[in-house]
Amino acid sequence: MFDREYDVIVVGAGHAGSEAAAAAANLGCSTLLITMNLQNIAQMSCNPAMGGIAKGQIVREIDALGGYSGIISDRTAIQFKMLNKSKGPAMWSPRVQSDRMRFAEEWRIMLEQTLNLDFYQDMVSGLLEENGEIKGVRTSLGIEIKAKTVVLTNGTFLNGLIHIGEKQFGGGRAGEKAATGITEQLIEFGFDSGRMKTGTPPRVDGRSLDYSRMVEQPGDEQPEKFSYSDVTKPLKEQRSCHMTYTSLEVHELLREGFDRSPMFNGRIKSIGPRYCPSIEDKINRFADKDRHQLFVEPEGWNTVEVYVNGFSTSLPEDVQFKALKSVVGFENVKFFRPGYAIEYDYFPPTQLTHTLETKLISGLFFAGQINGTTGYEEAASQGLMAGINAALKVKEKESFILKRSEAYIGVLIDDLITKGTEEPYRMFTSRAEYRTLLRQDNADFRLTPKSHEIGLASDSRMKRMEEKEAKAIAFVQFFKDTSVSPEEANPILEEKKSSPINQSGKMFKLFSRPQITLEDIKHFTKVDEYIKENNLDKEVLEQTEIQVKYSGYIEKEKNNADKLNRLENLKIPKDFDYSKLKSLSFEAREKMTKIKPATVSQASRISGVSPSDISVLLVYMGR
């Protein structure tokens, strides 16, 4: 095992590492997954949930590409919700509440059933490198293992430091030691590094809570699922979450501990996630608010452990406990463990290419929180892409890169490597220029053909996608070709307070009206017959409704994306000398020399590069 040279070594078995190892192995590469504790593969370190705003789209994209996160989320879900249903379909975002223990178990089972994949438990303390090329890894036991490529997915473990009040101790997660050695070596190689912070709330005993005093948050009446494949089914039973609130009394009790808070006394120097602030940060920043929401989330089917979402904190444990006891429904609360903050090393992602390979060392890839992101979904998507590209590099095949107009994953990676990040990066729908194209319902249409072409998405997935697409196209055409009479249409139009028609017209036009839904259209005899004859399922019906109702917006966005892609196709040579372009601004010259954009389009998105700088570049390139 140690004498051979692996095609790919993946360091770390969190969400990024698990997806990276699965992708590389499934593409036929001999792969070794090294982690400090094999019992903690794909551990949900923070909240027991997958998906959410924009994150749900990412999980769908991972699934469409042939990754495992969607399937495992479906198999271990205890609740499903489609968020933002009151808005347009570009905003709809699937989310599941997960069974924390079963999620990790299912990931391990899936990985153990994956061909070409070996496992080893040890800490990687160094990298083997020669002349700017990766050659393998060295473990804390002194074992050297050779590899053609290495993917680092170290999460919060690189020199991790845990804070609870005035106490601090080394660790990558509660009860687990930090990883040392890699940061120092990478800095020696010439990499820039930084520190980031994240936090987690207390875990409490559900038997000590009074749910009757909280607001129940049930799942959807007709739950869907993440995976486009037929290997999972929607939930038949669900567990409810609950919602309660903090109060002015709770805020006052928390303030009493601010002098012992590592966030306010200078112990924590790094930046935490802007969109997931700690409870003390919320109270400090939003002093005008009398209360903040807390979501009370069960950790699984058969456990009493509960996650208090919204109460992330690094305050002393006695302050946490006293304040939480004043929350409605928590009067008799018992702790499983207090909340804590953790600081860890990351490497600014402008040091990477679009494949997530480092610019300094050939064959070395970074994925997940090492790149400054936060969230399981963001990490998993990077792991998948790094695993794919490590495998393709070994096979000497063309890289696999997703454009901003093709996937949220493309937006995520482009944002990271072009703009960098100085705070934990989280994906939002607002970060995507083309979110009408990048919906959660069509990720398989967008990405499965691309993944099938490189050999990751299976033939059965491709066939299923093609059948669904053909049915949706045919159903849209049916509405364009089929007329409806005033006698049949007007009763429904009047009921929906929509203008009646005076003569027969195409159904497509009627269906395009904002007041008319698919449920209304189903009342037309020809539509009902068509659905039954062609055995159309919910996915096809939803896809058809979106294509009809939003056809104008979709077409407009496609045209805009095509314009951008013309600039994407204008490649800039790797060794391009920006100093010879005297008309470039000093900032543009400095930033482009550092980031080395691959295309003119990427150059245009660099912070500090102006439209006039891009004009200079285009003129020089003969455009």
End-to-end CA distance of the chain: 54
Confirm or deny that 273 is annotated as ligand binding: yes
Confirm or deny that 274 is annotated as ligand binding: yes
Of 226, 215, 222, 286, the residue nearest 251 (C-alpha): 286
Contacts 24+ apart (CB under 8 A), 213-218: 213/244, 213/328, 213/329, 214/242, 214/243, 214/244, 214/296, 214/328, 214/329, 215/242, 215/243, 215/244, 216/240, 216/241, 216/242, 217/241, 217/242, 217/243, 217/295, 218/79
Return the amino acid letter for 307: Y
- Phi, psi (degrees; rounded to nearest 5) at 430: -65, -15
Confirm or deny that 283 is annotated as ligand binding: yes
Confirm or deny that 390 is annotated as ligand binding: no
Non-local CB neighbours of 533 within 8 Å, separated by 6+ positions:
none
Confirm or deny that 410 is annotated as ligand binding: no
Confirm or deny that 286 is annotated as ligand binding: yes
**481/479 Cα distance (integer angstroms):** 5
Confirm or deny that 267 is annotated as ligand binding: no
Confirm or deny that 159 is annotated as ligand binding: no
Confirm or deny that 292 is annotated as ligand binding: no
Confirm or deny that 337 is annotated as ligand binding: no
**12/36 Cα distance (integer angstroms):** 7
Confirm or deny that 13 is annotated as ligand binding: yes
Helix, strand, or coil (residue 241): strand
Encoded tokens for 79: 């609740």
Confirm or deny that 457 is annotated as ligand binding: no
Confirm or deny that 348 is annotated as ligand binding: no
Confirm or deny that 278 is annotated as ligand binding: yes
Encoded tokens for 89: 């379909």
Confirm or deny that 272 is annotated as ligand binding: yes
Encoded tokens for 596: 């080395």
Confirm or deny that 522 is annotated as ligand binding: no
Confirm or deny that 285 is annotated as ligand binding: yes
Question: How would you classify the pairing of strands 5-11 and 31-35?
Answer: parallel
Confirm or deny that 277 is annotated as ligand binding: yes
Give ∠ CA 184-190-194 in degrees, rounded to 5: 60
| Residues that constitute the known binding site for FAD | 12-17
Residue numbers in the known binding site for NAD(+) are: 272-286
Binding residues: 12-17, 272-286
